Structure 1
Amino acid sequence: MTATPRLPVTALLGTNMFFSGVIYAATLPYASLVGVDTLGMSPGLFASVMSVGAVLGTFVSLGLGYLSDKLPDRRLLVLLTALAGIIGHGMIYAWPTQLSFVIAMAVVMPLGGACYGQCFAYVRVYYVRHMPARADFMVTALRTVFTLAWIVIPPLAGWIAAEFSIFNVFLMSSLSFAAVAAIFALLISDKGTAVQMPPPVRAEGASLLSTFALPLGTLAGLLALIVMTAAMRILTFTVPLLIVGDLGGTVTDVGFYAGITAAVEAPCMLLLAYLTTKWTKETILAAAGIVMAVFIGVASILTSMTAFYWLLLLNGLGTAALMSVNIPYVQDAIKGRVGLSTSLMDVVAIAANLLGATAFGLLTTGGNYRFALMVGAGVAVVGAAIMAFGNMSRLGELRAAEAV
């Protein structure tokens, strides 16, 4: 029998998701500005550092995902990854040099970056054990709290970066990792919050590998998510430089760009939550790739910040789908292995970072940010096509059995 928690778990997990959002909202929009524009790294060196971190992060995430399904207490892994995040981003703030950036991003943050996936793995398992009928809803709701941080933090971080030091964004992230660690340390003190999933049952005569099987359609879907998310990474790395260099904007505009996108994203997530009761996740994700392609392609030819701001309506819609519908899609990938399935979120993100960073380094060597965005739009179309053609039988409305 599952013990009843004495702590307000949902409130704590919601707070945790907000601080998890701060970690990314404070740093992702400014990573290329810190590395390239402030520390003087070449786009190629910056891309190489991010790529190395992505490769290491892939192995770390898979290892932790497998381990989380074996350990009696998966909360310990959240503490471990949060500690790495405190150290990694704290290094960049306390010691703002190219060397510290390289060590942090390529060596320490592959472990720290797994914190996000480990948090969501715990969230899914906790609600499956305590409120199984509402587990998917709670995952989506808490992902929306994550998005709220993106509404509030990027403009604030942009103002702090402009008025004081751009390295303060990494201080914000380091302190947020500390908040995540504190919340999970508190959860560990309550025996009622200790949850784990039973191992999957292996069919008689089946091999151990059969319990890790991924259907071909799911493999195509995961590849599509990697490609579409890579297009978003090209956008993430390139747009801040485009705003400052080509559109006449400032660091503060970079913050408003991220904040407005998140403000649009939040209500879109509610719309998407409704649409997932009508349409398959594959349909929604393929459509999201097309929406992102249109946004990135049109952004590449704009000449004013005003027009760019209006275009963020599309960015918010596409991002909402690729960053929320992807979670239940990925968590259902390997039946009975929530931790390992959730770690695939990190694998998708890390592989996308690798592809996006490599493309960014190659495409922006001559300082042509518009061309990089044009290629990014094409990458998004390719990802949407992989999702659609790899799951033709899954496109369209939900079948009656699936809607129940």
Structure 2
Amino acid sequence: MKAAAEDADGGVSEASMEDLKLFARRHPESAQAPEALFLLAGLNQKKGEWQAALTVYLRLLYEYPGNKTALRAKSSYLELVEKKGSRKQRSPLSDLVKLPEAADKADRLSLLWQRVAGAVGETLYEPAIDEIRDFSVRFPAHRDADKLQAALARLQAADGKAAASMLAWRKLLAMCPDSPLRAQAQMAIGDLYADSLRDPKKAIDSYQELVEKYPKAPEVLGALERSAQLFDDKLRQYDLAVEMHEKIVATFPKTPGSLKALKAMAKLQRDRLGKPDEALKTLLRLSTMHGGQDGVDALLQASEIARRDLKDSGRQAELLRKVSDDYAGAKEAPQALYDAAGVYEDDLKDAAKAIEVYKEVASKFPSHKLAKKADGRITKLEAKQ
């Protein structure tokens, strides 16, 4: 076998590769199996199939870590990584030679293919797919069947095989009823429909199925966000996009998710639905729920909507005063209160109210530069009375 594998004739080498694959698959417990894998990796390397060679070296290293061939495989693997891997690929590929502590052969191999799919799937996807399939045949009842199925699905997606990836995820759902990866699988199916197959309606159906079946899963937020995005960008159904954002706010209040959703809702209501009053109310909800700088920004944006879209100077002034009332320590508070006084003076022609608010500026922010300006406005307005 070794002599045939080392033969320079291409035909002999091709046949030898098939023989070596078959031998390693049928006789993994044989004393010659490690050497067969090492020879196979060398032939892959000679053919220029360096990704396949790396995969075989890794299998040898993980399956037979105590064999004398393992050290040669590790050395050849690292040499090949340095020679063929890009600068970005070298580090994650090199890290794979660090063996896990698992004593069981099947556990080590399972962890290997999971690590490959997670770290270097885009580099080793094709040979790794074959290895995972072989593993599933060899160890059909392994406890990591769902994890390997997920790894297979991710590798197929990296290979551009969306339909095959979706089938792998659906197989996980069908065969692993108790798997904690079911919500992840459902999310991945939705993503494949949305991104690879460009079918936003089926994507949304998949995301909504996730929300319904796995309401406590961490993927729920992403499913609702992607549904909202598709209703907005692809289907132009803006009311339904707002509905998805409302679900996020109700399900994840006072979180970064609800903050993002409220901002998106206000934008949709103002820009897409032509409902500035609803947008203003949403911004008030945002300020109440989240506070801080986001709350300040929301009130200032709401005051701008009142001015530009609603032409309601009274409401604008109230919202500017609210910035000072709710966020007195904010850097924007003095200017907002001063601007509110200006609205009363210039737009509403309410001198008494303007004087009241200018006095509030001077008393509330006595060391701010606007306090002096406010005093000046008070003097001029009182002189006119």
- TM-score for the superposition, normalised by structure 1: 0.18
- TM-score for the superposition, normalised by structure 2: 0.18
- State which structure, 1 or 2, has the greater radius of gyration over its C-alpha atoms: 2
